[in-house]
Amino acid sequence: MSSSSLTALVSLLLPCLLSLLLLHLANVLDPDPDAATPRVKATPPLPLRFRHDGAFKILQVADMHFGNGAATRCRDVSPDGGGALCSDLNTTRFLRRVIEAEKPDLIAFTGDNIFGASATDAAESLLKAISPAMEYKVPWAAILGNHDQESTMTREELMTFMSLMDYSVSQVNPPGFLVHGFGNYHIGIHGPFGSELINTSLLNLYFLDSGDREVVNEVKTYGWIKESQQAWLRSTSLELQKNLHAPALAFFHIPIPEVRGLWYTGFKGQYQEGVACSTVNSGVLGTLFSMGDVKAVFLGHDHLNDFCGNLSGIWFCYGGGFGYHAYGRPHWPRRARVIYTELKKGQRSWAEVKSIQTWKLLDDEQLSKIDEQVLWRCSTDDSHQNVFSPRQGV
Ligand SMILES: *[C@@H]1O[C@H](CO)[C@@H](O)[C@H](O)[C@H]1NC(C)=O
Ligand SMILES: *[C@@H]1O[C@H](CO)[C@@H](O)[C@H](O)[C@H]1NC(C)=O
Ligand SMILES: *[C@@H]1O[C@H](CO)[C@@H](O)[C@H](O)[C@H]1NC(C)=O
C-alpha cells in the first residue's frame, strides 16, 4: 500500500475512530448505557394514505393554549367545572377522548398550541400538549399561532422541534424555496395500499404560517400570509395538478379579512366574536381561488367562533377553542373539528376523492357531535374541474 493511499485510508477512517472515541468517553463519563444510544424519532409510515375502507379522517385541534400542565388553571369555565382542579390536564383528557372516539388518521394542530406566557419551558409544554397524539401513535402536523413563541423558543426553534417529535409530519419550510415564516409545507395523502393509486396523492394538505404580530404604519396588528408563501403555494399546486386535479385543504391560524363578511352572507355554526385578523389584506383569497384545488380552509385564533362559511366557493371553517387555559365561554363546551374525506369506488379499486365532510365534537358528557355538513362533492359531469389522469410517480 502506497503512503498516499494509506493517508487516504486514515482520513477515511478518522471520523469513525473519533466517533468511537466519543462513544467510549460518553460511556466512561456516564455509566448509564442508554445515554450513548442516540434518540431516534418515531416516524409514522410515509407517505400518509387513505385507509383500506377508502376514508381519511383529520382531527383539527385549535388553540390548546397549553401552559405547564397540572399547575396551569382553566379559564372561563362554569363554577361546577372543578375549580382549582381544572387545569391543562382537562385539555389532555379531552384530546385523549376525541382520539379514542374518532380514531383520526392525522391530527392538525392549528396554532397557539402552547400559550407562551404561561409556559415556563416551551419544549416541555409542547411535549405535554402533544403527548396524546404520540401516545396513540397518530401522525400529526402542527403550525404556529401568535402565542407559541412567547416562552423560551423562537418560531424557528418551535417548528424545528415539532418536526423532530415522534409521529410528527410537520416540516419547517419547503426545501428549495425561500418563504416567509416557519411552518409552510405540503402533505400529500396517497391512495390506499393495494389500490392503483398507491403512488398518487389524492388529497393535498397545505400548512401555512400566518405569523404573530406586526406593526404597520406604527399601528399594531396581526400577522398575515406573505407573497413569498403564496408564490410557493401557487407553484406547488400547479405542480401537483399536472399529475392529478386532486382536491386540497389549507390550514392556518389567523383568519383572512374576508371571513368578517360571512356575518352578512351566511354561515353554519356560531359567530360569537369579532374576527381578529390583520389590517393587511395580502390577497390570500384570490390566490386560493386561482389555484382551484383548495376546497376548504381550517382556521383557529378566535375561540368563540366555530362556524363554516363559503367565500367564492371555498369554505372557511374555524376549529373552535379546544384548550381549557384559553379564553372561552362558561357553559359553551370546548370543541374540536373533524374533517372526513372519502374516496370513490372505481372500476377495479379506489378512485379519486368523492366527498369532504366536517362536524364538531363537544367536550360534554356524551361527546356530542354537532353541525355535520358536506363541504365538497366531486361532480363527475364537471370534467374540467376533475380531470382524472393520474401519472405514475409523485
Ligand atoms: C376538569 O377535570 C376535573 C378533574 O377530573 C373535573 O372535576 C372537572 O369537572 C373538569 N372541568 C371541566 C370544565 O371539564
Ligand atoms: C408504485 O411505486 C413503486 C415504487 O416506485 C412501484 O414498484 C410500483 O409498481 C408502483 N405501483 C403502482 C400501482 O403504480
Ligand atoms: C358558495 O356561495 C356561492 C354564492 O355565494 C354559491 O354560488 C356557491 O354554490 C356556494 N358554494 C358551495 C360549495 O356551497
- Give residue-wise pLDDT tens across range 161-214: 999 999 999 999 999 999 999 999 999 999 999 999 999 999 999 999 999 999
Cα distance between residue 188 and residue 276, in whole Å: 30
Atom of ligand 2 nearest to the CA of 392: 14
- 345 lies in a domain? yes
pLDDT tens-digit readout, 53-64: 999 999 999 999
Atom of ligand 3 nearest to the CA of 265: 5
Upper half-sphere CA count for residue 150 (Cβ side, 13 Å): 19
Does residue 329 have its Cβ closer than 6 Å to ligand 1? no
Q: How far is the CA of 29 from the centre of ligand 1 (A)?
A: 46
- 33 lies in a domain? no
- 14 lies in a domain? no
Q: Relative to the alpha carbon of 192, which ligand is closest?
A: 2
C-alpha cell at 231: 408564490
Does residue 14 have its Cβ closer than 6 Å to ligand 1? no
Q: Please tell me the residue having the least CA distance from ligand 3 atom 3.
A: 313
Q: How far is the CA of 14 from the centre of ligand 2 (A)?
A: 40
Q: Please tell me the residue having the least CA distance from ligand 1 atom 14.
A: 81
Atom of ligand 1 nearest to the CA of 94: 14
Average pLDDT, the chain: 90
Q: Please tell me the residue having the least CA distance from ligand 2 atom 1.
A: 199
Look up residue 285 and give its DSSP letter: H
Decide if 59 contacts 98 (C-beta within 8 A): yes
Decide if 143 contacts 208 (C-beta within 8 A): yes
How many other CB atoms are there within 10 angstroms of residue 6's CB atom?
Answer: 10
Exposure string over 267-297, b if 16+ CB within 10 A, otherwise e = bbbbbeeebebbeeebebbebbeebbbbbbb
Q: How far is the CA of 346 from the centre of ligand 3 (A)?
A: 28
The pLDDT value given to residue 380: 64
Strand positions, DSSP E, 321-362? 335-345, 350-362
- 359 lies in a domain? yes
pLDDT tens-digit readout, 146-156: 999 999 999 99
Q: How far is the CA of 45 from the centre of ligand 2 (A)?
A: 16
Per-residue confidence band for 39, with pLDDT thresholds at 50, 70 and 90? confident
The pLDDT value given to residue 387: 37
Does residue 362 have its Cβ closer than 6 Å to ligand 1? no
Instruction: Examine the pLDDT at 3 and tell me if it is beyond 80.
Output: no
Q: Please tell me the residue having the least CA distance from ligand 1 atom 12.
A: 81
Q: How far is the CA of 256 from the centre of ligand 3 (A)?
A: 18
Atom of ligand 1 nearest to the CA of 93: 2
Q: What is the mean pLDDT of residues 206-232?
A: 97
Find the domain containing 276 and state its range.
45-377
Residue 372's SS3 state is: strand
Per-residue confidence band for 34, with pLDDT thresholds at 50, 70 and 90? low
Instruction: Examine the pLDDT at 242 and tell me if it is beyond 60.
Output: yes
Does residue 82 have its Cβ closer than 6 Å to ligand 1? yes
Decide if 251 contacts 208 (C-beta within 8 A): yes
Decide if 334 contacts 321 (C-beta within 8 A): yes
Q: Is the pTM of this model over 0.85?
A: yes
Report how many domains make up the chain: 1
Instruction: Examine the pLDDT at 135 and tell me if it is beyond 60.
Output: yes
Per-residue confidence band for 384, with pLDDT thresholds at 50, 70 and 90? very low
- 110 lies in a domain? yes
pLDDT tens-digit readout, 112-132: 999 999 999 999 999 999 999
CA angle at 325 for the pair 324 and 328, rounded to the nearest 5°: 65
- 165 lies in a domain? yes
DSSP secondary structure, 168-202, as one string: B---SS-TT---SSS--EEEEEEPPTTSTTTTSEE
Instruction: Examine the pLDDT at 14 and tell me if it is beyond 60.
Output: no
Cα distance between residue 314 and residue 320, in whole Å: 19
- 122 lies in a domain? yes
Which CATH number characterizes residue 49's domain? Answer: 3.60.21.10
Pocket test for ligand 3, best of 268, 295, 310 (most atoms within 8 A of CB): 310
C-alpha cell at 35: 445515554
Q: How far is the CA of 84 from the centre of ligand 2 (A)?
A: 56
Cα distance between residue 129 and residue 131, in whole Å: 6
Atom of ligand 2 nearest to the CA of 196: 13
- 142 lies in a domain? yes
Q: Please tell me the residue having the least CA distance from ligand 1 atom 6.
A: 82
Q: Relative to the alpha carbon of 76, which ligand is closest?
A: 1
Cα distance between residue 322 and residue 362, in whole Å: 9
